[in-house]
Chains A and B, each alone.
Chain A
């Protein structure tokens, strides 16, 4: 009887665990079923490297969206990552306890703000600021990069901080006992030792920026064209789906699923490399 109960509970846990995996499998299969025939019909090259997106005229090139995604993400990384890493080092190594206890929940709160609020704030605050000081329409690459740069902060900060705190205490004390100053210890022992975790944090942050939709839709301008300056409006892969899914049908709808496939593959690559770096610990 006891053994039966043990077995039963094991099975129940297994089935419940399986359901989360099967959700992933279902979604994957679904977008591939919808998207792959489209790519076969239009041609992979025309799809990925076509520079014109005009579903009404049967043109389905997503190169501008791929470019938009990469540029906006790059901008977000450029703005967010240095801030996040300094913040993580500060929290893990420099800040006194009371300040840390103030900062940590605040950063977690930053992760809890709904993305539509970020977008809204960007629209009423960042966009007019850019329009007045740099010219252009305001909405576009710069605005989206700034907002995404802020949005990836919590991810990058908390994961890098955890990986710094996970270092054995002996690393730090060994270095200090060698007569290194605190700063030398941070630079030459702590950061290199926590490198794999920090790289994983950066990759996950980038993944978050690539996948973000709502906030980006509101401030990126959504023009499906190749940008010429960082003030130009662009469209990203996510917003391409978000904008048109309401009214798309037929081939157009399949084109959006195919866009989803591209996005899916980018995210998969990012997550896999984050996994790789997390496992590659040096201690």
Chain B
């Protein structure tokens, strides 16, 4: 198992947004976490890289193990953790610099100075994110001049350049056209060979298309999880069935 979540409770002030959640995330697979709005999916992802620390009044109980080690340990460097567990957001937010610098930024912080090495990393990451062909001739262009779909793939490339172990995508395709979405989905399937992917898809269909496993969350609770084929063909819980067949959500 890459990540093991045990009895996780997350509170925002008085409000409990995740209730006693336990979930195993196997390595080199794509796990989709689905659920209607306000189910706690985003909070769960933000707990895995401790981005919840930024929310004032947020409290986390329970344990999350990454490769068997607790991410809440005193010795764990949050910065290090976030490089290992990369995240792509719903709205792409490239850094205000060129395409190349966006990707080189992370490796540079880690101490890579060599221009050729950075170039190699950039090319590899852009290829993995299915953006290389569109940008190879204009790497010096400001990143915000790219289209929304391209910006999102750039954000994926930027995360990949850090050589993370886990990549989380939080509804990262929700604002994208079908072609960009298809490209990203293709690259996700490529990526799982090297990484563990946790995906909060923007709709159930996407989960069905790309994932190996599916977890269904409702009101902060994990209702069920399992292999993609099993959950979609014979869900154990009535609520899961209702959700994936589109009766609510």
Residues 72-101 of B at the A interface (beta carbon under 8 Å):
79-83, 86-87, 89-97
Asked if B91 contacts A170 (CB within 8 A), the reply is yes
Knowing A173-B54, A282-B144, say if A179 contacts B162 (CB, 8 Å).
Answer: yes
A177 B96 Cβ-Cβ under 8 A? no
User: Counting CB contacts under 8 A, is B132 at the interface?
Assistant: no
- Chain B contacts for A97, CB-based, 8 A: 56
**Bound complex: CA of A170 vs CA of B46, how far in Å?**
13
Of A173, A178, A184, A192, the residue contacting B96 (CB under 8 A) is: A192
Assess whether A214 is interfacial by the CB under 8 Å rule.
Answer: no
Question: In the assembled complex, how far is the CB of residue B195 from the closest CB belonging to chain A, in whole angstroms?
Answer: 15
User: Which chain A positions have C-beta within 8 A of B93?
Assistant: 168, 170-171, 173-174
Per-position contact with A for B142-159: 1 when CB-CB < 8 Å, else 0?
101000000000010011
B105 at the interface (CB under 8 A from A): yes
Q: Does A243 contact B (CB under 8 A)?
A: no
Q: Are A188 and B105 in contact (CB under 8 A)?
A: yes
Within 30-52 of B, Cβ neighbours of A (below 8 Å) are at 49, 51
* A179 & B87 in contact (Cβ 8 Å cutoff): no
Which among B49, B90, B96, B155 is the interface contact of A282 at CB below 8 angstroms?
A: B96
> Considering only CB atoms, which chain B residue lies closest to A181 in the complex?
B79
Question: Are B79 and A177 in contact, with the CB atoms below 8 A?
Answer: no
Per the bound structure, the CA–CA distance linking A174 and B96 in Å amounts to: 12
B76 to chain A, nearest CB (A): 13
Question: Is there contact, CB below 8 Å, between A192 and B54?
Answer: no
Q: Mark A186-202, 1 if CB is under 8 A from B, else 0.
A: 00110011010000000
A180/B51 contact (C-beta < 8 A), A97-B56, A168-B91, A170-B93 known:
no
Q: What is the chain B residue whose CB lies nearest that of A170?
A: B93
Chain A residues with CB under 8 Å of B91's CB are 168, 170
Q: CB-defined interface of A3-43 with B at 8 Å, one 1/0 digit per residue? A: 00000000000000000000000000000000000000000
CB of A177 within 8 A of CB of B105, answer no
Within 8 A of B (CB), among A262-283: 282-283
Q: Categorize the interface residue count of chain A.
A: 20 to 34
Output the least CB separation between B226 and chain A (Å).
28
- Report if B109 contacts A (CB, 8 A): yes
Q: In the bound complex, do residue A179 and residue B106 qualify as a contact, i.e. CB atoms below 8 Å apart?
A: yes
- Are B49 and A189 in touch, CB under 8 angstroms? no
Residue among A97, A179, A184, A192 with the most chain B CB within 10 A?
A179
| B54:A178 contact, CB within 8 angstroms | no
In the complex, what distance in Å separates the CA atom of A270 from the CA atom of B85?
A: 47
A178 and B82 form a contact (CB under 8 A): yes
Q: How far is the CA of A42 from the CA of B85 in the complex (A)?
A: 73
With a cutoff of 8 Å between Cβ atoms, the chain B residues found around residue A188 in the complex are 95, 105
A178: chain B residues at CB < 8 Å are 82-83, 86, 105-106, 158-159, 162
Nearest CB of B to A120, in Å: 42
- B105 / chain A contacts, CB cutoff of 8 Å: 178, 188
Closest to B108 in A: A188
Check if B144 sits within 8 Å of A177, measured CB to CB.
Answer: no
Q: B54: which A residues are within 8 A, CB to CB?
A: 173, 176
CB contacts (< 8 Å) of A171 on chain B: these are 93, 95
Asked if A173 contacts B82 (CB within 8 A), the reply is: no
The CA of A168 and the CA of B57, in the complex, are separated in Å by: 21
Partner of B95, one of A168, A175, A195: A175
The A235-283 residues at the B interface (CB cut-off 8 A) are 282-283
Q: Which residues of chain A come closer than 8 Å to B142, judged between CB atoms?
A: 282
Looking at the assembled complex, report how far the CB atom of A229 sits from the nearest CB atom of chain B, in whole angstroms. 42
- Structural contact, B83 and A174, CB atoms closer than 8 A: no
Q: Which residues of B contact A174 (CB under 8 A)?
A: 89, 93-95, 155
Which 7 pairs from chain A and chain B are nearest by CB?
A: A170-B93, A179-B83, A174-B93, A177-B87, A179-B82, A193-B96, A179-B79
B-to-A contact residues, CB < 8 Å: 49, 51, 54, 56, 79-83, 86-87, 89-97, 105-106, 109, 142, 144, 155, 158-159, 162
- Interface CB pairs A-B, < 8 A, 24: A97-B56, A168-B91, A168-B93, A170-B91, A174-B95, A174-B155, A176-B51, A176-B54, A177-B49, A177-B51, A177-B89, A178-B86, A178-B105, A179-B81, A179-B82, A179-B83, A179-B162, A181-B79, A184-B109, A188-B95, A189-B95, A195-B96, A282-B96, A283-B144
